[in-house]
Structure 1
Amino acid sequence: MKKRLMLFVGLVLLCVGLVACGKTEKSGSTNRNVSELANASKYEPTLFFHGWGSSYRAEDQMAQSLVKAGLTKTIMRATVSKTGKVTLTGRFHKHDYQPIVEVNFQDNRNGNSQQWGRWAKATVIKLQQTYHIKKFNMVGHSMGNMAIMFYLLGNTKSLPKLQKQVDIAGHFNGILGMGDKPNQMMLNRAGKPNKMQTDYRSLLKLRQTYPKNQIAVLNVYGNKQDGSHSDGSVSNASSKSLRYLVATRAKSYQEQQITGPNAQHSKLHENKQVDKLLINFLRN
């Protein structure tokens, strides 16, 4: 009986030891990822955010253009679940200081802009916890821009600093057929729209809270030149209404119009002109 008791105790201690070893190994693996990056503060990842109903695949052409231009060799992915859990696939690499993170929202048909902002924040926090990043860039297409804007609307003081923001085909003040009509929205000289939709009214707080003299902004929009002054889905006025929200506080603000058939809303993230603008903006 005594031998059986000693054997049982020995097995329990062995199991506890194995579990402890497993935890140590897992923790060590995370620590190795960070320790490989001796100069963590030098790493400035660029996060790509796709549009409504889309996925990271819509970001891949732009991401590959940055690789071909020599800005980075690293493309990794951050998958965000419906509950906001972020899973990283791939990793940062030593001395590759401008890695790309393709963000993939699994609940990609969620129409709540604030929720997209919370998911964006969860992604930034995950990268901060994993790699101790100090600064980063954001690139959004369509609804991905609302993820960026509502991320910025939240409390980000304890998070890494956003350095550059690229907005492509942004519907900051509505979408055609959903509260907006071609050639109806008017902007004043400061970019203030004559009528404001609900999300835009929420974003007005950024006129006081947008980080002062910190973020360089590039706003890219498409004009099909078919008389609608739009990219087919978003009016140019809606895209350009970003100016009123951030221009007075941004480090710099610039707008670039893309014209022609490849200026259509869903084609802008495959447009070579957009690639060139993106490369030059991030490189400089």
Structure 2
Amino acid sequence: MHRRTVSIVGALIIAVIAIISFNAWHRAQAAKQFVHSNIPTIFVHGWGSSAHAEEKMANAAKRAGVTNTIVRANVSRQGKVTFNKTIPAHAINPIVEVNLADNKLSGYENDYPTGYKHGATYVKNVVLALERQHHYRAINLVGHSMGNLEIINYINDNTGNRKLPRVDHLVAIAGHYNGLVGQKTAKSPVNQQTGDPERQDATIKPLLTLRQTFPTNTRVLNIYGDKEDGSHSDGDVPVNSAKSLKYIINGRAKSYREVEITGANAQHSKLHNNAQVNRELINFLWRK
């Protein structure tokens, strides 16, 4: 009986070692498909949300072999940034999950365009805090919902600031650049060639300076959803509102591509927990 127990334990140990070895080999092989860079990718969540909305996307990248470094940047209502851990000096493709205490832009309920501009200071504070850890020549930015408006206002407010790292890649997921469902401007038709909306919401107007200043070395991926329920939206953001990003950047980006996610999993909150979105993100940001 003792000998049999030893044999079973031995077999289990061998199986565990085999699994660990296979997983290590799989990650090593997968990693060969991706760029090896120190450029951090910063994820910014949406209204009323938190860093938990970013975890599925970040962990998908880690499982694919993109990175082993995921840190969280907690941002207080006063804009103070603290990290749950430091990014190692030679980390490959580190990911930063932003967690905003002021996740509903308190005090700006009647003036969200100004609120988004205030939210842009949170993004800038995260970038500056990262710069205090290591000097980065470039960053990637990924936003979901309100996070997109904070990111695009950050870019708008800081174009030409050479003290800040350039934006290498920008990923917009469910960005309501020309308003939300229920607003007339949001569902107004857009020019399919230029993205120019027939009617402009107060949200988009302050961003139109980017038509002359958007950085020309930034690659852009615009992901949006259509539930295919007749609303032509993800339930919160009309397709046309998301597509108006094309008008804002005015052909200045190094590249621009739109990806429409359709069906039930294209619902607004499901877009940050969507396998197709994860694949698009990984391929766009890190695939060789």
TM-score of the superposed pair, with normalisation by structure 2 = 0.81
1:74 aligned residue (69, 74, 98): 69
TM-fit CA distance, 1:179: 4.7
Contact 1:74/1:99 (8 A) holds in 2: yes
Q: Which whole-Å CA distance do the structure 2 matches of 1:206 and 1:157 have between them?
A: 17
Code of the residue aligned with 1:224 in structure 2: it is K
Q: Which has the larger radius of gyration?
A: 1
1:96 Cα offset (Å): 2.5
Residues 128, 134 of structure 1: 8 Å contact kept: no
Aligned partner of residue 101 in structure 1, secondary structure: strand
Offset at residue 217 of structure 1 (A): 0.3
2:215 to 177, 197, 211: 211
Q: 1:195 aligns with which of 179, 199, 215?
A: 199
**What SS does structure 2 have at the residue aligned with 1:96?**
coil
User: Distance in 2 between the 1:238 and 1:199 partners?
Assistant: 10
The answer to whether 1:118 aligns with 2:121 is yes
Structure 1, residues 188-238: CA drift from partner, whole Å, max 9, x if none? 1200001111120000010011112x1000000001011111101110000
CA distance in 2, matches of 1:195, 1:179: 8
Alignment RMSD (CA, Å)? 1.5
Query: Which whole-Å deviations, capped at 9, do the CAs of 1:90-143 have from their partners, x for residues lacking one?
Result: 121253221000001101011411111111011101111221111110100000
Alignment of 1:162-201 (within 5 A): 162-180=167-185, 184-188=187-191, 189-201=193-205
- Matched length: 241
Matches within 5 A, 1:1-284: 42-110=37-105, 111=112, 112-155=115-158, 156-180=161-185, 184-188=187-191, 189-212=193-216, 214-284=217-287
| Deviation (angstroms), 1:78 | 0.8
Q: Distance in 2 between matches of 1:113 and 1:96?
A: 31
Aligned to 2:25: none
Cα distance in structure 2, aligned partners of 1:254 and 1:87:
34
Going from structure 1 to structure 2, the CA distance change for 1:197 and 1:102 (only over 3 Å counts) comes to same
Contact 2:185 2:201 in 1 (8 A): no
Partners of 1:154 and 1:179 lie apart in 2 by 27
77-86 or 87-96: which moved more? 87-96
Q: Could you tell me whether the CA contact under 8 Å between 2:68 and 2:92 is conserved in 1?
A: no
DSSP-derived class of the 1:154 partner? helix
Question: How far 1:282 moved relative to its partner?
Answer: 1.0
Secondary structure class of the residue paired with 2:124: helix
Q: Is the Cα–Cα contact under 8 Å of residues 185 and 200 in structure 2 kept in the other structure?
A: no
Q: Which ranges of structure 1 fall in alignment gaps of 5 or more residues?
A: 1-41
Q: Normalising to structure 1: TM-score of the pair? A: 0.82
- Give the SS at the match of 1:77: strand
Q: Structure 2 counterpart of 1:264, which letter?
A: Q
Distance, in Å, in 2 between the alignment partners of 1:124 and 1:179 is 35
